[in-house]
Structures are given as C-alpha cells and as structure tokens.
A and B are shown apart, each in its own frame.
Chain A
C-alpha cells in the first residue's frame, strides 16, 4: 500500500534576520504516521516544526522562503489564513502550558472559538471525548472545574494534548513533549502517541533516540540547518546511509 503524503516541504529556507536557520529542506511527511525529527541542539528542528503551522509568523525577524504543502495546498500562499490553518494543525509544546483556567475550560477553549459545539451538552461531550482520547479522563473526571495548573506536569501535558485534539486537527505537532516529564509520564505520552497515530498525522521533535525509535515510523535527521537523512525509522537507526547520522546516533556528535 502506498502511503499518502500529508505534508511536503519544497526548497524550504528559513532565516532569522541575516542568519540562515534552515536551508533547502525537502521533506515528505506521510499521513497517519509518526514522523520524528532528531538532531543536535540548534540544528533547526523546532524551526521546521513551527513552519508547519506558521507559528513563526509571530517572530518578526523570521523569514520563510520556499513552499510547504498540506494536502497539496501551499500554506505560505498569500491569501491563506494562518488562523484557520492552525485549527487544522495542532501543536503541543515542550513545556506544558495549560491556560490559567479550569480543566474543562482548557479543553473547551478551541471548540468555543471555532464554534464546534452547538449546545452545552455537545460541548460537555466533546470535552469528555477529548480527555478520554488523551487518557486523562479517569484521572480528572471528579475535578474537572479545578484549574489546569493544579495538575502534575505529565497530566498537564496530556491536558495540552486533549486541548489540541478537541478541535479535531488533522496533524499534531509536538516539540519535545516529554522533555519536562519523568519516565512514567513519558511512557504514558508515548503510548498515547501510538494510539493517536491511528487517526492523526504526528510530527514529533525529540532528543531521545530511544523515543524516536519507539514511537515513530519515519525519522528525519537534521544537522546545522540541513536535512541530512530521512527514512524508515528502523533503517535510519540500523543502517544509516550518511556518516553524520551514524556519528549522531552512536553519540559521536551532539
């Protein structure tokens, strides 16, 4: 079976002011698969990820050249509304960032601003389903009106995932979602990623080679702003084609 390509970047160059952060990135991200981005610190993984939902727009000095296609549509086209794009492409950040609102309001935030629920019941239902999908429902069902910030770090991160999936995005971008979490919370999130990949296209940035190997189907290795190698995760880890990739996964550079 041939994989459908969900996102495709073409000749992508990104600059921060004068400084080139990404050069000539051509990468295809398959639909309903997990793609992990690995590479040493500062190589441009986060920059690439933030290009995919145009979060870089809010950084004034950031300039993007080239094209990124989501479902064959160039998202850097002039008349594309980044706000609508972001509703289709959710994002989970490195540090859990629940809003200072109740758990319920956190999850209901997206559906409310996009008018996804027509009634209170529908909204309740949507929140419940999202929390269930994020594997958080059983832990918080009795304290749904308490502030989201009162949860533990791992729970907060799953709350952020629930918040992201509440608007039924097609893609979920995750930037080192487990770097602030302990191994048990990490294991839970990894399980969740596995589960979510049945329905969503997931792109995850990670510093942990083990994590990339465990959760992803495809791995892309970045180095100093360039895409060095991309391929099936097993292939990249067991027989990398490039010397740099080999050096990185064996710990020689990083």
Chain B
C-alpha cells in the first residue's frame, strides 16, 4: 500500500467512524425502551470514537518514523551475505552506507553484484515495511475505535472525554515547542563542551586575544589560534551601548510625545508607521549603515581632526539604535498610556502642570514597564548581526573607542561557520561556545525584563 492510497483510505475511515459513532448514539437516543437519553450530544460520541482512531494511528506512525532506520538496518545486516562482508574493504557500517546509496536501476559498471542484490533487497524492504505499517495502522485504528464505541451508554459523558482530549492536544503542542527549545540548548551545550575540551573555559572567558585561525591540515603553517573572547564581548558591549545611547532617549521621548501630547489622529498615524519601521529587514539597515552613515560619519569626524576607520562601532551602533527606536517607543507608549487616568487627574487636581505630572507621576509609575522595554531592546541589540557585519567589521579589536572597528559575538559566529569547515576543529566549535554565551546572556536579560514587566502589571490590575 502506497502512501497516497493509505491517506485516502484513512480519511474515508475517519469519516466513517465519526458517522458510525454518531448514528449509534442517535439510535440509542431513539430507543425509548432504554428510558433515558445519552448525556452528551450524538456528534460527541462520533468525535470520541474518531479520537480512538487517531490516537493509536498517530502513535504507531510517529514511532515508525523514528525507529524505521534502525529496524531496517537490523534486517539489512541479517541479509548481507557473509562473503560480501569479508570481501569489503572498510568497516561494516560503511558497507551498509554503500548498499543504501546504490540504486539498483542505475548501477556503475563494475559494482559487486552482491551489493546490487542487497541494494535491491533494501529498496523492497523500505517500501514493503511502509505498506505493512500502513496496514497495521488501519487495522489497529479500526479496532480501537470500534472498541471505544462499546462504551457508548447513558453513563458515559463523551463531551467531557472530548474536552479532556482537546486539553491534552494543546498541552502536547506546547510541550513540543518547549522540548525543541531545550533540544537546541542541549545541542549547543554539547558542542560547547567539546570546544572547552580543547580550549580551557577561563582562557575563553577571560582571554584578551581572539584570532580563531587554526591549521586545517597537519602540515599547514598557521598559528595555533587563540580564543580569548574578551575583545568580542567588549565589542558587543560597545555597539550595544552606542545603540542604546541613540535608541533610549529618542525612543522614550517620542513615546512620551505620542502618549501624552500628540492628538489622537497623530498618534493613530504615527504609531503604525513606527511599528512598520521595526519590520524593515536588518540588511537594509545594514547597507544604510555601511554606505550612507559610515562614510558620512568618517568625513564628519575627520573634519574634526580625528581619525576614524570606515567600519566603526559608531556607525553600526548608531544605525542599530535607529532600528531599535520603534521597539522602545512602541512598548513605552503602551506602558505610558496604560497608567490609569485617575493618577493623572490626581496630579492635575493638585495643581501640577502637564510636564510635572509626566515627570513626577506618570514616568515613575511607568518606569518598570519602560525598563522592561529597554531590557528587551538590549537583548535585541546584542543578537543583531547583519548591521554589524556590514558596518562594524570582523576585526576583534579590544578597544573602547567607538571610532574603531570592532566585532560582536553574533558576527563572529557567522564568520566562524561560513565557508569551508572541518566540524571538529576548535575554530568551528568556538561558534557554539559563543552561541551558548549569547543564549545565556539574552535569556537572563529577557527573564529579568519579563519579571519587571509582570511586577508592573500586578500593580495596576
């Protein structure tokens, strides 16, 4: 049985089971001799039996999806003739890979006929096993749904059972999301641990020099590579600081204007525009920074008699700040407008002016929310890559001068992983170490931000 015919039969079966369950319930309801009616609507009994079709089927299919390669491997290994194993140069697992990679219809001349046989066997094994599993799914599903229908009686509340199944489905989906995230983190940790086997943890965290070029071949003349991440961390910090120096004042002041002074019509037009700005792809900001802002700043700074690299933390950070403005202003605007009117009225009734009210009542009341917005914006800035690649360079300079080129964690991850790679060199693994550091820093920032925002919510609700 092929996949498509299975799918069609399965759909038919589903409809049939649902219909069958419903009619069975209807019949019981009509049967006056039974005395009382079923406690739930008939269609719930249909849905209930349908669930008993879907549940075992999906369990079998999911298990098959995960275990198929292993099961097939076992069968394949059993079937390989002994003399083929003996003749094959290389280890047995390579033999299996070769068999799997051979297409019995398009063979290279001179291929061992035993391998061709095994390959053909492998192909039939794959298709046949699928058919058997599909058949199994249909039979098991049918039986379990029919058995479930025996439960239909005046004592059984199908509606509650369906409700429970719904809840479990929702829980299942959210668990999948969480498990995926955890999986990503673990794979990061796993690779990072391999990195720290090569480079000591403290050398990485506190080392002052970053030049990740290691020799790819044994005979290559190259430096050992050094993996001190401090220049990268300071670079990230510097760019983030520049970005925040732009984004916080502008974002906050425009939020105050929008929330407190702008007429409703102005607010209604400006806020969506700001939010659209937040959706501009960062590459666009990146070339804006590299092509327009960078050279402009360079000319300006050299007219002041200072020297500046054409790639600089200032240009990248500045443009990143512009990118983040809508982020801060939109969130802060929400926070400021949600400060209750009664507080404003209270302040005005005391004879305070508008700006006094904003400074002394509204901003303090909104402060936790604003801080939350700023922290979220910071974690955004730390994670930003494109602008920095394009405008701040990839040289890991240890400097606090925003006029020089610096690099950030994300940019280094990109440069480490782009191009020809060897997957267990320290150079490649360093990307995972940086990644896990980035992950934890942004995680902590976000947790802290969420906590603050929550506290703020509690105060007024």
Q: B351 to A84, Cβ gap below 8 A? A: yes
Q: B346 to A99, Cβ gap below 8 A? A: yes
By size class, the interface of chain A is 20 to 34
| Distance A101 CA – B360 CA, assembled complex (angstroms) | 10
For window 110-138 of A, CB contacts with B under 8 Å fall at: 110, 113-114
Contact with B along A62-99 (1 / 0, CB 8 A): 00000000000000000000011111101101010111
**Residue B5 CB within 8 A of the other chain:** no
| A97-B351 CB under 8 A given contacts A113-B356, A149-B459 | no
Q: B361 to A99, Cβ gap below 8 A? A: yes
Q: Which residues of B contact A95 (CB under 8 A)?
A: 342
For window 152-180 of A, CB contacts with B under 8 Å fall at: 160, 163-164, 167
User: Which residue of the partner chain, among B350, B360, B459, contacts A164 with CB atoms under 8 Å?
Assistant: B350
Shortest C-beta distance, A244 to chain B (Å), equals: 31
Q: Chain B residue with minimal CB distance to A87?
A: B351
Q: B351 to A93, Cβ gap below 8 A? A: no
Q: A86 to B348, Cβ gap below 8 A? A: yes
Q: Chain A residue with minimal CB distance to B352?
A: A113
For window 121-171 of B, CB contacts with A under 8 Å fall at: none
Q: B459 to A100, Cβ gap below 8 A? A: yes
Q: Which residues of A contact B352 (CB under 8 A)?
A: 83, 109, 113
Q: B342 to A97, Cβ gap below 8 A? A: yes
**Residue A53 CB within 8 A of the other chain:** yes
**Residue A210 CB within 8 A of the other chain:** no
Q: B342 to A99, Cβ gap below 8 A? A: no
Q: Which residues of A contact B364 (CB under 8 A)?
A: 99-101
Give the dominant DSSP class at A's interface. Answer: helix
Shortest C-beta distance, A227 to chain B (Å), equals: 24
| Distance A72 CA – B29 CA, assembled complex (angstroms) | 84
Shortest C-beta distance, A47 to chain B (Å), equals: 14
**Residue B353 CB within 8 A of the other chain:** yes
Q: Chain A residue with minimal CB distance to B346?
A: A97
**Residue A58 CB within 8 A of the other chain:** yes
| A90-B349 CB under 8 A given contacts A97-B342, A97-B343, A99-B343 | yes
For window 383-437 of B, CB contacts with A under 8 Å fall at: none
Task: Give the total of B residues in contact with A, Cβ under 8 Å.
Answer: 19
**Residue B347 CB within 8 A of the other chain:** yes
| A99-B348 CB under 8 A given contacts A93-B342, A113-B360, A149-B459 | no
Shortest C-beta distance, B96 to chain A (Å), equals: 69
Most chain A Cβ neighbours within 10 Å, of B342, B346, B347 = B346
| A99-B356 CB under 8 A given contacts A55-B348, A86-B348, A86-B349 | no
**Residue B340 CB within 8 A of the other chain:** yes
Shortest C-beta distance, A197 to chain B (Å), equals: 20
Q: Which residues of A contact B343 (CB under 8 A)?
A: 97, 99-100
Q: B350 to A55, Cβ gap below 8 A? A: no
| Distance A53 CA – B348 CA, assembled complex (angstroms) | 10
User: Which residue of the partner chain, among A90, A93, A98, A100, contacts B345 with CB atoms under 8 Å?
Assistant: A93
Q: B342 to A113, Cβ gap below 8 A? A: no
Partner-B contacts on A (CB < 8 A): 53, 55, 58, 83-88, 90-91, 93, 95, 97-101, 109-110, 113-114, 149, 160, 163-164, 167
20 sample A-B contacts, Cβ–Cβ < 8 Å, listed by A number: A58-B344, A58-B348, A83-B351, A83-B353, A86-B348, A87-B350, A90-B350, A91-B345, A97-B340, A97-B343, A98-B346, A99-B346, A99-B347, A100-B364, A101-B364, A110-B351, A113-B351, A113-B356, A114-B351, A160-B346
Q: A58-B345, A88-B351 are in contact. List 10 more A-B contacts (CB 8 A).
A: A55-B349, A90-B349, A90-B350, A91-B345, A99-B364, A100-B343, A109-B347, A110-B351, A113-B352, A113-B356
